[in-house]
Structure 1
Amino acid sequence: MNSNKTWFITGASKGFGLLFIEQLLAKGDNVAATSRSLADLEKAAGTHPNLLPLEVNLTDEQSVKQAIDATVAKFGKLDVVVNNAGYGLLGAVEELSDAESRQNFNVNVFGLLNVVRQSLPQLRAQGSGHIINISSIGGFVGSFPGFGIYCATKFAVNGLTEALAVEAKEFGINTTIVMPGYFRTNFLESDSLALPKNPIDAYTSTRESEKAHQEQINGNQPGDPAKGVAEIIKITDAPNPPLHLFLGSDAASMAEQKIAQLTAEIDAWKSVSTATDF
């Protein structure tokens, strides 16, 4: 019996997505990979009998449905769905327009939802599968100046994935939120990190954050993306994969600090919290 998995991966022309293609093909799995540009994807990933490159507009549900259908038609099944596509947005909450904010949600949240919605019928019919939503440590810790909207999209991903995990479990479907810290990908490059069209000079903390991310952090991130992808692949073979996976020592450390702060704050204000019951 063929034990090789069939994967559906979004945002596959660079970064984590491209590394998924390389590592999965090397282990003999089937990969349906999507990108906004088929030409860019084919240039980056090349050709392989087990690779199905697909041009997909994630914000168009019909485009997503066609891609899922094409995957099942070619490989006969769907085992792992990786929602990897998304982009960063660095601007203070006040200075980002409604259009800029909504576009970040359209791609990072509603695009992801389109993939989940269209893949679930196949996974339910099989009675198996694994949905992996690539979030961010910014989906658990929001205290990054200039990343409020981006963090909001990732908090949304975390919340919907926690509910999805409960809903999908009865069908034999596993669900994981991956929250990477800083990995040495092109995430902080201009083609992956959008800046506000109308910045407000008063927000010095945001400008300092922008400068630090582009000039100091970019290229010096502690995380090795190839190792990160390898660890994500490993969890799909675990009998009880995690719902929450903090990826990177920095992500784990920031999560521990947030949990400690929450615990201390709950304890400090417990009398207020419990004073509201009938």
Structure 2
Amino acid sequence: MENKKVWFVTGASKGLGLSLVKQLLSAGYNVAATSRTVNSLNKAVGSEESESFLPLEVTITNEQSVKDAVSKTIEKFGSIDVLVNNAGYGLFGALEELSDEETRQNFDINVFGSLNVIRQTLPYMREKRSGKIFNIASVGGFRADFPGVGIYCSTKFAVAGFTEGLASEVQELGISATVVYPGYFRTDFLSSDSMAAPKNSIQDYATSRASIEAHEKEIAGNQPGDPEKAVAVLIKIASEEKPPVHLFLGKDAYEMANGKIEIITSNLEKYKSLTVSTDFDS
């Protein structure tokens, strides 16, 4: 039965990941969920390990940690049918402000951590020639003209890029890959636990400072998106035979994506003569 499928969800102790795990368990799915600590995960979910729930303590930047978690999932449930890469964190700061260490750490978690999970999960999906992968990015992974979040957005652009490539690679194997672009959803994502700031700020970047302050004092707690509705859509899409490669969630995400498409279309047409003049036969 559909609800006996096995879901593997990273970053499951808060935000969209937590809402997803709770809905899946309520609907009768088998769920393996990861977090940095099992105690925080059990407390957040309100349940400990059971016949249908496997909480896992995982460091997603550590390949062995990920491999062990995937092996435990296979041992308990026999398969992984749906993978949701949700683990990640936000990073505020203008590009010049953020150090190499801060920047690389954001990429390590948001990009390379997800790749670790995909690499360890795909062998089992390939073996049975089926599986669905959802990589949670952000609308900031499609449109990044927001001051003070360029590095974070670039990690999500990377997620979108490798997901699109992955989708073309695994299609012949009966596996799908979808990049999910949520807009602003009312979770704790904008809290200090999920958003990092630069250690060395540069006051010249006034617009970036104002953006950070607005996120902390005005947007946090007032996001328009309902996380419960978002994960319900995700579960519904996962039941489709051929999920889309690109999935936007939220009215704001829809509007921001359309806005960028209009900008690109306008620029393409404005500079078309120059663009196409660069071929040998032009």
The bucket for the TM-score relative to the shorter chain is over 0.9
Q: Measure the CA separation in 2 of the matches of 1:269 and 1:2.
A: 50
* Residue deviations 1:104-145 (CA, integer Å, cap 9, x gap): 000000000000111000000010000000000000001010
Shift of 1:2: 7.2
Q: Measure the CA separation in 2 of the matches of 1:2 and 1:276.
A: 52
Aligned partner of 2:26: which letter?
A
Question: Within the alignment, does 1:266 sit opposite 2:271 as a pair?
Answer: no
* Residue deviations 1:140-169 (CA, integer Å, cap 9, x gap): 001010000000100000000000000011
Shift of 1:239: 2.0
Percent of aligned positions that are identical? 58
Q: Measure the CA separation in 1 of the matches of 2:63 and 2:275.
A: 42
Stretches of 4+ aligned residues off by more than 4 angstroms: none
Q: What residue in structure 2 maps to residue 23 of structure 1?
A: 23
Q: Measure the CA separation in 2 of the matches of 1:5 and 1:261.
A: 41
Choose which of 229, 253, 256 in structure 2 pairs with 1:254: 256
Which runs of 5 or more structure 2 residues have no equivalent in the other structure?
A: none
Shift of 1:240: 2.0
**Contact 2:3-2:30 within 8 A present in 1 as well:** no
Q: Measure the CA separation in 2 of the matches of 1:221 and 1:107.
A: 24
Which runs of 5 or more structure 1 residues have no equivalent in the other structure?
A: none
Greater shift after overlay, 2-11 or 34-43? 2-11
Shift of 1:37: 1.0
Q: Measure the CA separation in 2 of the matches of 1:71 and 1:94.
A: 42
Greater shift after overlay, 236-245 or 209-218? 236-245
Matching of residues 24-63 of structure 1 within 5 Å: 24-45=24-45, 46-47=47-48, 48-63=50-65
**Contact 2:89-2:194 within 8 A present in 1 as well:** yes
Report how many aligned residue pairs link the two structures.
278
TM-score, normalization: structure 2? 0.97
Report the 3-state secondary structure (helix = DSSP H, G, I; strand = E; otherwise coil) of the residue aligned with 2:96. coil
Choose which of 118, 135, 138 in structure 1 pairs with 2:137: 135
Q: Measure the CA separation in 2 of the matches of 1:144 and 1:272.
A: 28
Matching of residues 157-176 of structure 1 within 5 Å: 157-176=159-178
Greater shift after overlay, 3-12 or 198-207? 3-12
Question: Within the alignment, does 1:208 sit opposite 2:210 as a pair?
Answer: yes
Report the 3-state secondary structure (helix = DSSP H, G, I; strand = E; otherwise coil) of the residue aligned with 2:147. coil
Matching of residues 1-16 of structure 1 within 5 Å: 4-16=4-16
Q: Measure the CA separation in 1 of the matches of 2:217 and 2:29.
A: 38
Q: What residue in structure 1 maps to residue 277 of structure 2?
A: 275
Q: Measure the CA separation in 2 of the matches of 1:267 and 1:44.
A: 50
Q: What residue in structure 1 maps to residue 83 of structure 2?
A: 81
CA RMSD for the aligned pairs?
A: 0.9
Matching of residues 141-156 of structure 1 within 5 Å: 141-156=143-158
Q: Measure the CA separation in 2 of the matches of 1:223 and 1:152.
A: 23
TM-score, normalization: structure 1? 0.98
Aligned partner of 2:127: which letter?
A
Choose which of 226, 233, 236 in structure 2 pairs with 1:234: 236
Q: Measure the CA separation in 2 of the matches of 1:16 and 1:246.
A: 14
Q: What residue in structure 1 maps to residue 104 of structure 2?
A: 102
Report the 3-state secondary structure (helix = DSSP H, G, I; strand = E; otherwise coil) of the residue aligned with 2:173. coil
Q: Measure the CA separation in 1 of the matches of 2:18 and 2:2.
A: 24
